[in-house]
Amino acid sequence: MKTILPGQTIGIIGGGQLGRMMGLAAKEAGFRIAVLDPTMDSPCGQIADIRIVAPYNDETALEELGEVSDVITYEFENIDYDGLKRLSEIAYVPQGAELVRITQNRATEKSEIKASGAPVANYVTAETFDELKGKINTAGFPCIVKTTFGGYDGKGQVKLDSPKDIHEAESLFEHSSCIAEAFIPFTKEISVIIQRNPDGESYCLPIAENIHKDHILHESIVPARVGPEVIAQAEAAAKQIADHLELVGTLAVEMFVLENDEIIINELAPRPHNSGHYSIEACNVSQFHQHIRAVCGWPLRKPKLWAPSIMVNVLGEHVAPLKKVIVNYPDWSVHLYGKAEAKEKRKMGHVTIMTDDIEKTLQDIDSTSIWA
């Protein structure tokens, strides 16, 4: 295991907001930042010391990133696996490429979660629509059919309530093979962000309860409004998965909580996660600072929550109304990511509110004109 120290350079593949916040955390400690992204004025590029503007699968650009960096990490999983694998052979990539390969494919991801011993919904995989028709009764109805590759924020999937709806899934096979999962009648969605260094030391951030609108994360409430038995199950499952995958860095484990307080693992994200943004203000160590510690081979800090908090996403349509009223809310911590165009449904920033009264703060958020 290498120890990377301030003054050395951390290379980041991906120039989005996660890379930006990762880079800002690193720069606080005196690291230099290199970023590879196809966009010149990317959110991370705006704060980087070195910008390499090229596609993620550009071999020359990846080699250049390797040459200028002492350690390399990535800010999202939909990068080029083959390129990352080659890069890990010539540069120090402590996370490796295998976790990206696993999590880019919903079928391999589900298989590895199951192999770790963590609970998953009943599912089947299918290479073709005809194969799905032959297998889908094993998954049962209702079920969710998803493309194995691509798709996020509710894209690339369809819910089937009964066998007569199966034709609705046919077009998904134009993109990739598919997975059909039994629909889970959950009471809450939660996420556990676990971070682990090369020595196997790991910690979970306080668990977030997630509220979605139109399949996009709207609010994360911390601590999640669940009992201690759910918290214990969720943290244990996250650790099982992280150890099974030999995680280095950050893994977000999204879960469903059932009526009987059991949990089912939904999906993984091998990087800092939207539901962990609250930790910047509300914890003694943010998910971004802890990620940098992990990939640089430092000992991790045991997370502590300073106060209950709510994180609210700011999408393109929320930017203008937020700016109009921002001066009226001195307790809000506002983060905008430096994206040039505020497109509808595009994540442009977030707001974190530390509070002694979660329920009242949720009502206050709803009463503003911003997220109507």
Peptide bond into 223 cis (omega under 30): yes
Domain contains 61: yes
State residue 155's pLDDT score: 73
State residue 6's pLDDT score: 98
How many C-beta atoms surround the C-beta of residue 153 within 10 A?
13
How many C-beta atoms surround the C-beta of residue 19 within 10 A?
29
- Considering the chain, what percentage of its residues have pLDDT values greater than 70? 99
Domain stops at, among 147, 182, 217 = 182
Domain contains 112: no
State residue 154's pLDDT score: 61
State residue 281's pLDDT score: 98
State residue 150's pLDDT score: 79
Domain contains 253: yes
**How confident is the prediction for the chain on average, in pLDDT?**
96
CATH code of residue 173: 3.30.1490.20
Same domain, 226 and 283: yes
d(CA 310, CA 13): 29
Domain contains 320: yes
Same domain, 86 and 193: no
State residue 152's pLDDT score: 64
Same domain, 142 and 204: no
Whether 363 shows a pLDDT value over 90: the answer reads yes
Domain contains 372: no
d(CA 175, CA 57): 20
Res. 369 pLDDT band, cuts 50 70 90: confident
Same domain, 271 and 315: yes
Same domain, 192 and 341: yes
Domain stops at, among 137, 165, 182 = 182
Domain contains 136: yes
Q: Residues 325-353: pLDDT tens digits?
A: 999 999 999 999 999 999 999 999 999 99
Mean pLDDT score, 232-238: 98
Same domain, 171 and 246: no
Q: Residues 80-111: pLDDT tens digits?
A: 999 999 999 999 999 999 999 999 999 999 99
Q: What is the 3-state secondary structure (H, E, C) of the chain?
A: CCCCCECEEEEEECCCHHHHHHHHHHHHCCCEEEEEECCCCCCCHHHCCEEEECCCCCHHHHHHHHHHCCEEEECCCCCCHHHHHHHHHHCCCCCCCHHHHHHHEHHHHHHHHHHHCCCECCEEEECCHHHHHHHHHHHCCCEEEEECECCCCCCCEEEECCHHHHHHHHHHHHCCCEEEEECCCCCEEEEEEEEECCCCCEEECCCEEEEEECCEEEEEEECCCCCHHHHHHHHHHHHHHHHHCCCCEEEEEEEEECCCCCEEEEEEECCCCHHHCCHHHHECCCHHHHHHHHHCCCCCCCCCECCCEEEEEEEHHHHHHHHHHHHHCCCEEEEECCCCCCCCCCEEEEEEEECCCHHHHHHHHHHCCCCC
Domain holding 309, by residue range, is 188-367
Same domain, 164 and 86: no
Same domain, 163 and 240: no
Domain contains 1: no
Same domain, 237 and 337: yes
Which pTM was predicted?
0.96
CATH code of residue 87: 3.40.50.20
Same domain, 229 and 145: no
Q: Residues 286-327: pLDDT tens digits?
A: 999 999 999 999 999 999 999 999 999 999 999 999 999 999
State residue 338's pLDDT score: 96
State residue 1's pLDDT score: 75
State residue 120's pLDDT score: 97
Same domain, 262 and 164: no
CATH code of residue 339: 3.30.470.20
Domain contains 308: yes
Domain stops at, among 78, 93, 108 = 93
State residue 156's pLDDT score: 85
Same domain, 31 and 45: yes
Res. 69 pLDDT band, cuts 50 70 90: very high
Q: Residues 124-182: pLDDT tens digits?
A: 999 999 999 999 999 999 999 999 997 665 678 999 999 999 999 999 999 899 999 99
- Considering the chain, what percentage of its residues have pLDDT values greater than 90? 95
Per the structure, how many domains does the chain have? 3
